Every structure is written in structure tokens, then in C-alpha cells.
Structure 1
Amino acid sequence: NIIVLKLPAVGGLAHILTVDALQKALPAGVVNFVTGAGRKTMGPIMQTGLVDCLGFIGGAKATDALIVQHPKPHRLKIFSQLEGKNIAVVLPDADLDVAAAQILLGSLNYNGQRCTACKLVMPHVDVADALVEKLVAKINALKVGLPWESGVNITPLPEPTKPQYLEGLIADAIEK
């Protein structure tokens, strides 16, 4: 068996350490990785029919696009985590300082541009207002700047279309 790991377009360098560790622990040629746009790089690999198992984290549309390219999709074993929202549930007895700090870390680490980012917070009604106050205070204390500047917490987004996308999400949330 061999492993082909397709690195994500953003944050892919983080996986190089994982690949390096796997390559040191396993025989040569067992672990391989490819880079590039997923649909362009993985489509041809899927079309070979040599893929027995597809592990995928991302969107359902992208997963479906890969599966249908396999010549025998009904025989393909699939392990996927799709459209994850990574919910933070805050119970009434939670330490709200800890909860706010962890929500902030989970949602804004890497500017929130990772599949495991916290995308939804569900506080108990008894602590919701207090939690929001703590989150607002923590967010207002964040420093915006360039990655190499000291003490910076929020840096530019990695893709040119992201600001417009996020503005749309904010407008939608305000409207609702």
C-alpha cells in the first residue's frame, strides 16, 4: 500500500513535517505527496483506478467531483469529513474566560483559514451575553498587521477573494 497526500493550497507547509516523519518511519516510496489545485492534480490520479481508498476533508462538491472520476466508484472506499462546522458548545458552568480564549484560538488561528476552524458557537442561554462580551473584548484587543510584525494576531487573508466572501457573510449575518 502507498499513500498519496495532496497538500492544501493554503497552509500546506505545515504538512511537510508530517510527511517527513512518515517517510522516516515507513519504507521508501510508501508516503508521497502532490501539490497544486486539487481538481487538477487529483482528477488524473483518480482516473487511473489505482486508488482504493479516498480520504478527504473539505466540501461535498469537491468530493463528488473526485469520486465520479474513478472508473469504479462503487468499489472505492471513502472516508470523508465534509462541510464541518466545528461547533463550540458552552455550557452554563463553563469558565467563560477559558471558553472565550479557546473559541478565539479555534476560530481565528491562521485567520480562520483552516478546515478545523471553529465556525459556530452555541452558548447556553444563561451565559450567552457574558460570553459575547468577553469575545468582543478579546477581539477588540487583537492587533492587525503583517505576519512579521511583533505582536500581530490578525494578518492578511491568503486568497484575494476571501475579503469579499467574508464581507458577504457579515452582511448576511447582520441582515438576519
Structure 2
Amino acid sequence: MIIFHKLFYLFVYLLKCLPWFILYGISNFVYYVLYYVVGYRKKVVYENLTNSFPDKSKKEIKKIAHQYFRHMSDILVEAICEEKMVAHYQKHMSIKNPEILEKLYTTGKSVLLIGGHLGNWEWLGVTMQQLTPFNAKGVIKPLSNPFFNDYIEAIRARHSSGIIPFKQTIRV
């Protein structure tokens, strides 16, 4: 397992040296492997889409599933290359009406922003810390693989003032 970890970190280091257009080419390869070779969570994705969109045809569901796997592959590559994300966040993210947040901050108010898994939520964590005066914290659900969970949590911790495990949040 130690050899795998060393190879993974070498692979990540090499990835970070590549320009974005090559990284997105690699993302296309990752998509192909996840969807066609491994079939990672394919059944779950199709079941969820079918339940969420009962009026959609099988062809439409299949198209959405392909888009989902492409999107997840992009997110995976972008998360691995988080140093590049930090350098380029302004090209990808902005806050509308930042003066509202600034006013709340100067008056000592707390803010709760809620966002969904739209776009790349990892960009959001980096951006909030860069574009707002608030100590941004993200709610996370741990990954099932401990090695990859620790890796992703370390990335998130470098660019935010904290993460909150999902199980420690209040349910309403």
C-alpha cells in the first residue's frame, strides 16, 4: 500500500505541472475509465436520475448520466490540482453584491451561505476564503476510502478556516 501512496503522490505532482488543456484531456480519459471500464456507481446514478426525473426517457437519462460522469471527472482533476485552482479562482468564481457580505462582517453578523453541488464545489471553498472577510467553513461528508479522504481533507484545510463533518450538523 505504501508503494501505491508514493505512486499516487508522484502522479499528483506530475499532474500539477501540466497546463489546464492537458488536464481536461486527462479528465476525459478518467471519465471513460469511470463510466465504461470501472462502472463506478453507475447503477446508483441511473437509479437516482430515474427517480428524480420520472418523465425523462431512457435516452435523456443516459445523456444526463454521461454529463454527470464527465463533470465528476473534471471535479476530480481540478481538486487534485488545487494549487492551480487557487491561482486561477478569479477566472472561475465571483460574488455578486459583495458589499452585502462586507456590511454584515463590519457589523459583527454571522452569515450562513448554502450551496448545492453545482459546478465545482471545491472552487467555492477556495473562493470564499479569498473573496470574503469571513472565516469560511464547509460541511463535508467523508469519503469511504480513508487514504483519499485524508488527501482531500488536507487540500480543503489548506484553503479554508475549517471543515465541519456532516454528522456534526443540526438536522431540521
TM bucket by the smaller chain? Answer: 0.3 to 0.5
Taking structure 1 as the reference length, what is the TM-score of the superposition?
0.32
Taking structure 2 as the reference length, what is the TM-score of the superposition?
0.33
Larger helix share, 1 or 2? 2
Larger RCO of the pair (alpha carbons < 8 Å, separation 6+): 2
Structure 1 or 2, whichever has the larger Rg, is 1
Larger strand share, 1 or 2? 1
